[in-house]
Structure 1
């Protein structure tokens, strides 16, 4: 694979000839509307048959020969990819690129809201081979701990099984469209209410035929930290061999009194859950100032802390399929898919600027005398994130959410990543892999 960053004067026809890829293919894999959709700074994914380089962090006892054997490559190729690196002067913590025929192997999960058609169904159909799990975001609970369904989850549930994507029941502490700290605190505080919640989740899982549960309780009150862990422990016992997937707030240190992340005990949750998804998509947020959603330096800080407390083999990092459009000088951001953010830049003739420190693209435009700043993702930012997943040995990634389009990602995965599949289990009975 290659990445071509458009310069002033470039044309899609010239780029097509340079890489020997058809114009139609370039339009398709990059989600362009037409052959004239080019602006300076736009990063184009080029599926030219070459594999993406792997990223490795040097550990005690490593030599380039040992690394080359592990990745089915040669010392000479590693040295060619890392100018200035000496085989005799490797240091622990040093990052090197590895040209390798071996694909990165991950377990991936996409979140999806209940739907009967549209982008969610289209993306599920097209990207099923690149998904291990589908967490159907359709459940919340009452103040007494009784889970309830919002919307119709059956069409997605049925289709995911047909496509060999393991469906998980996703439950959140949502009330009136917002995460509710008081709601989750009240339920976790009561042993009876916790028991109600475990039992009602299990009833839905059993009745519907889910392959497990995905828990996203945000703003858990710090004083309910241990109660949250106990709830997860009880839920995992009840699930048995089914999957317990838990999302946790991103953090770089443990502050048990922090109102955002203090209720999530990384080490304890990591000991209980089958999979822990760290929400590395919270740096830039709608009500905050313009910032990248998931800057690479911050993601790495979070992963460095998280992997010291949770087994990397249980951990997923969250990837955003969206960007934010902020009006200036103040106001909340509007969320839009990566593809829509890209094509908005094209339609407005903006110049995309890539922030090397954040490994994230941005642009601005004016509308009715108001300046807008947009931070988004592109193939460059995603490659850097996948490399961190690789370097830290994580289980995989999550995507929020499947109704948002980002064709470059799925094309990159098809060419460079092997997604593991899991057999559906339901209380000891295997579903057929269809």
Structure 2
């Protein structure tokens, strides 16, 4: 893999010639709308150059043993990590490993019901890069009866056609937002919990879903044990089908916190087949302009999660988007990673890169308004893949595949083996 950071005066043709690739291929892989470039733009140049794997030194490790696991040699590891010594391996140290083996991941995308458009195009072009698709179409009543908001059948059929397993995604979503009281009322009642489980299982069986993806947010802390009980009962009903659970990102338990307190990582990890930590929206709409998913924060969240959830069940959420903030009002607009990149080109804004956050951003002015944009690009997304490789997580999720991010799919195609 080669990443080129555009400098002032660079041209697409010069970059293409130097890297022996057609300009049209660079445009395709990076989702460019023209041949115009701006300083700081990260271009992904597809080639046969393998990406080194990342690994954290563990107790009893030797370079020979590590090399055997990754299909390489102690000498090659030493060459990739100048200064490393067999006699001074420190537990927790991250090293780079030249390996012929690709990282193997379970991936899950999210999508709203549709019968065409970008979601269908993404599945047609990248269905081989997704293990599951969680279809965001379901909520429930205060008596615990699940219902479907939009017609999900065309998207289920598209999943079957493209070899992606569809999951029924249900949220405590009412009137355009998550409803904590709705979740609390249903979880507090054994009757309503049973209603929700039975009605969900009916939809799963009738429509041919491969399981369920739960996104119950802002659960009242008093109901956290009820949620774990609910998940265990749901998994019993699903049997061999998948129970996937999305949880708030946090770096400590905070059991009384009204936002994250309702998610008991340890209990959820015991009940579910897969748990996705929502390591997104550190920078959030109406808040101050900040990175969407800064790498340092993601690391803190995952380190805590791994104390409670085994790595073979754990996924990290990747954003497929950016936010455009108007300052100082903090009025916010979401846009796809591709559109955020191309907006910088359209406005002529130079892109900067925060190395600790591993996140790109830029500023521009439109009319009387000053704008700040944070988004994702090939640098930020590849850093996230390296982190989940080092922590040995089972996979990643993508919110959401209706947002175009061609660099991400190209990276997976070149560097990841998808578990189906």
Specify if TM > 0.5: yes
1:145 and 2:144 equivalent?
yes
Residues 118-137 of structure 1 aligned to structure 2 (within 5 Å): 118-137=117-136
Residues 83-162 of structure 1 aligned to structure 2 (within 5 Å): 83-162=82-161
- Alignment RMSD, CA only? 0.9
TM-score, structure 1 normalization: 0.96
How many Å separate the matches in 1 of 2:226 and 2:365? 49
- Cα-to-partner distance string for 1:360-396 (whole Å, 9 max, x where unaligned): 0000001112111100011011111001111111110
How many Å separate the matches in 1 of 2:75 and 2:345? 41
How many Å separate the matches in 2 of 1:255 and 1:76? 46
Partner residue of 2:218?
219
2:331 match: secondary structure:
coil
Check conservation: 1:4, 1:46, Cα contact below 8 A: yes
How many Å separate the matches in 2 of 1:194 and 1:276? 20
How many Å separate the matches in 1 of 2:320 and 2:139? 23
Residues 188-337 of structure 1 aligned to structure 2 (within 5 Å): 188-337=187-336
Shift of 1:331: 2.4
How many Å separate the matches in 2 of 1:258 and 1:332? 26
How many Å separate the matches in 1 of 2:51 and 2:345? 27
Partner residue of 2:363?
364
TM-score, structure 2 normalization: 0.99
Aligned residues: 420
- Cα-to-partner distance string for 1:231-277 (whole Å, 9 max, x where unaligned): 11111111111000000001111011011110000000000000001
How many Å separate the matches in 2 of 1:93 and 1:249? 26
Shift of 1:162: 1.7
1:233 match: secondary structure:
helix
Shift of 1:160: 0.2
Check conservation: 2:289, 2:330, Cα contact below 8 A: no
Shift of 1:82: 1.9
Shift of 1:208: 0.6
How many Å separate the matches in 2 of 1:31 and 1:115? 23
How many Å separate the matches in 1 of 2:73 and 2:26? 32
Check conservation: 1:245, 1:275, Cα contact below 8 A: yes
Shift of 1:83: 2.5
- Cα-to-partner distance string for 1:68-106 (whole Å, 9 max, x where unaligned): 111111223222222332332211110111111100100
Residues 340-419 of structure 1 aligned to structure 2 (within 5 Å): 340-419=339-418
Shift of 1:170: 0.3
Shift of 1:228: 0.7
1:50 match: secondary structure:
coil
Check conservation: 1:172, 1:215, Cα contact below 8 A: yes
- Cα-to-partner distance string for 1:141-199 (whole Å, 9 max, x where unaligned): 01111000011100000110121111100000000110010111111111111111001
Partner residue of 1:8?
8
Q: 5+ unaligned residues in a row in structure 1: which ranges?
A: 422-434
Check conservation: 1:250, 1:282, Cα contact below 8 A: no
Decide which moves more: 83-92 or 287-296: 83-92
Partner residue of 2:53?
54
